[in-house]
Amino acid sequence: MTPAIRTRDLTKDFPVGFWRPRPYRALDGLSIEVAHGEVFGFLGPNGAGKTTTLKLLMQLVFPTSGEAEILGRPVGDVSIRHRIGYLPENPYFYDHLTAEELLTYYARLFRIDPSSRRQRVTAILDRLGIGAERRLQLRKFSKGMLQRVGIAQALLNEPDVIVLDEPMSGLDPLGRRDVRALILELRDQGRTVFFSSHILSDAEALCSRVAILAKGRLAAAGRLSDLQEFAVQGWELVVSGVPPDVLDRVRRRVRSVTSITRDRYSIDLAADGHPEQLLGELTAAGATLIALNPIRETLEDLFVRRVSEMGDGARPAAPTREPRQRTGRGNVA
């Protein structure tokens, strides 16, 4: 089956400098595939090339080399945009139009039938929680409200593929919760959601797969369960009421013991530290179990590890440079 989104060796150079512009490589040979109906997280630190990639998909910038397809069609095919929704980063609209007028204007561009246009606009504004402000001019909207308008316009045409650039930006905790629920709702409807973010908890909660971008190059891509080291790396045992002599004996067999409160301790065991055996000994000595947690790698650990693996070397810049090995490139998701 054709992927919903596919890029092959997608590369973008921007000229830098006025008199003698030199190419600055914002994206270097990105190859990823996003399957239909999945929520795909596109992660990376600031300046990694996430927004450039999304702009390339929307043809707001043109690639230096490589290609990109959405729903099996080249991204330059204007007709395919009937099936795509796009939220730019920190969206901005026309000051003097109301939310309703803006969406009606966009609905015309989508050639949504005039008889259902008004109903569609009203429904989507209500869904995003800004129905009451539909007749307010957009210059009076807060940043969070503009973000909601941005999401509303991205969903107006009931798209098959939704591309969101930092969808949680500018939203308060309630707004973020709403958008998370909305993304899951879209996934349940069988739509593909491709979103960029540097809020890792959102990606961890929503994505079936992620790609991590660093310095314009793909650092990692795949299922979270494959990327993260899900094997247990250790155990955290939290207990209270341990007699001091028992605690001294335990200290020699574990990685560390940390005092949390006066009689509560966190015990860090190695992966092969047999927590059930230690727990038996402690409870027999009168201790009470508070918690027993396996220690696994989080997305944040993975992110930091993969981004730092990309090294501190200069970002690839000039096409005239000698070819060199690209870390992580060609890693098709």
How many CB atoms are located within 10 Å of the residue 225 CB?
Answer: 9
What 3-state DSSP class applies to 163?
Answer: strand
| C-beta closer to another protein: residue 108 or 321 | 108
108 binds another protein (CB under 8 A): yes
Q: Which of 82, 180, 198, 305 binds another protein (CB under 8 A)?
A: 82
| Interface positions, 9-28, toward another protein (CB under 8 A) | 14
Binding-residue pattern over the window 145 to 184 for another protein, x denoting contact by CB under 8 A:
-----x--xx------------------------------
Q: Which of 17, 19, 46, 79 binds another protein (CB under 8 A)?
A: 79
Report d(CA 173, CA 157) in Å as an integer.
27
Q: Which of 40, 93, 194, 195 binds another protein (CB under 8 A)?
A: 93
| Interface positions, 212-231, toward another protein (CB under 8 A) | none
Nearest distance from residue 204's CB to another protein, in Å?
28
132 binds another protein (CB under 8 A): no
Report d(CA 165, CA 56) in Å as an integer.
12
| Interface positions, 34-63, toward another protein (CB under 8 A) | 55, 58-62
Positive or negative, the CA dihedral 295, 297, 298, 301 is positive
Which residues are 250's β-sheet partners?
none
Could you tell me which of 64, 43, 6 has the C-alpha nearest to residue 220?
43
Report d(CA 75, CA 48) in Å as an integer.
22
How many CB atoms are located within 10 Å of the residue 16 CB?
Answer: 11
| Span of 79-87, 187-195, 217-225, 281-289 interacting with another protein by CB under 8 A | 79-87
Nearest distance from residue 12's CB to another protein, in Å?
9
| Span of 33-41, 106-114, 221-229, 235-243 interacting with another protein by CB under 8 A | 106-114
Nearest distance from residue 103's CB to another protein, in Å?
11
| Span of 28-36, 75-83, 185-193, 201-209 interacting with another protein by CB under 8 A | 75-83
Q: Which of 20, 96, 252, 262 binds another protein (CB under 8 A)?
A: 96
What 3-state DSSP class applies to 269?
Answer: strand
Report d(CA 82, CA 117) in Å as an integer.
15
User: DSSP letter at 20?
Assistant: S
Which secondary-structure segment (H or E) carries 182? helix 173-188
How many DSSP H helices and E strands does the chain contain? 10, 14
Contacts of residue 332, defined as CB under 8 A and 6 or more positions apart, other chains included, come to 31, 32, 33, 221
Q: What angle do CA 4, 127, 3 make, to 5 degrees?
A: 5
Nearest distance from residue 263's CB to another protein, in Å?
58
Report d(CA 134, CA 125) in Å as an integer.
7
| C-beta closer to another protein: residue 58 or 246 | 58
| C-beta closer to another protein: residue 43 or 84 | 84
Nearest distance from residue 217's CB to another protein, in Å?
19
Q: Which of 21, 22, 65, 109 binds another protein (CB under 8 A)?
A: 109
Given the rule CB under 8 A, which residues bind another protein?
14, 55, 58-62, 78-79, 81-82, 84, 86-88, 90-97, 101, 105-106, 108-111, 137, 150, 153-154
